Amino acid sequence: MLTSAELMRAGPVMAVLTLEAAADAVPVARALLAGGIRALEVTLRTPEALRAIEALSGVDGALAGAGTVLCVDDAARAAAAGARFLVSPGFRPALADAARRLALPWLPGVATASEIMAAREAGFDDLKFFPAETSGGAAAVAAFAGPFPMARFCPTGGITQANAPRYLALANVACVGGSWLAPRDLVARRDWAEIEARARAAAALARG
Ligand code: 3PG
């Protein structure tokens, strides 16, 4: 079974994908993989998301999981579709139990010390910091290192190629997540070359 530590170490950037058409999933994944990005979070925000996850579970080298997992049913449906991991914007104890039952790594979202404490109490130290840019940015993540030396973060929300280095330089950041590699407009235009170029630039980002 994949661990959350392995997931966060799969590369400096996790691609966040919101796909309107499941048929786009494989070409997007191939472009991202060609650029060196393996961790693919498909948000459960579109009717085709689960079919996209199903399609990606057959792509060699890809680590495809589900994002925007809001409830236990979302987690179960994502697991049934072949998701290798789960990501949520927030923390819920019921989701912690569900992830354990499903034997899938789960990155709960946190933005405050109390949320980190709640996640920790449930046994989760690998966390999504969300929404990163509006929750204090890299300075907030750096400040969490004091009371929470055991926590590792994947900041997501407002991250770009330009501001990612500020986060990746921190010892408590394992990777960042973002939609900038394959945003909806590039996917709609089927601009696989630009997605591959963005992935290549992202994969070259150094971690501290
Ligand atoms: C997420 O679900 O993690 C965010 O929507 C990704 O944020 P971004 O679109 O600002 O990269």
DSSP string, 182-194: S-HHHHHTT-HHH
Decide if 133 is catalytic: no
Residues with Cβ < 8 Å from 185, sequence gap 6 or more? none
Question: 125 near 147, Cβ under 8 Å?
Answer: no
| Per-residue pLDDT tens digits for 168-187 | 999 999 999 999 999 999 99
Question: 133 near 30, Cβ under 8 Å?
Answer: no
pTM check: above 0.85: yes
CA atoms within 13 A on the CB side of 18: 11
> What per-residue confidence (pLDDT) applies to 133?
98
Domains of the chain are 4-203 (3.20.20.70)
Catalytic residue among 20, 41, 54, 121: 41
| Nearest protein CA to atom 5 of ligand 1, as residue | 157
- Taking the CA of residue 130 as reference, the ligand 1 atom at the shortest distance is 3
CA atoms within 13 A on the CB side of 26: 8
Question: 34 near 197, Cβ under 8 Å?
Answer: no
| Per-residue pLDDT tens digits for 9-48 | 999 999 999 999 999 999 999 999 999 999 999 999 999 9
How far apart are alpha carbons 27 and 5 in whole angstroms? 27
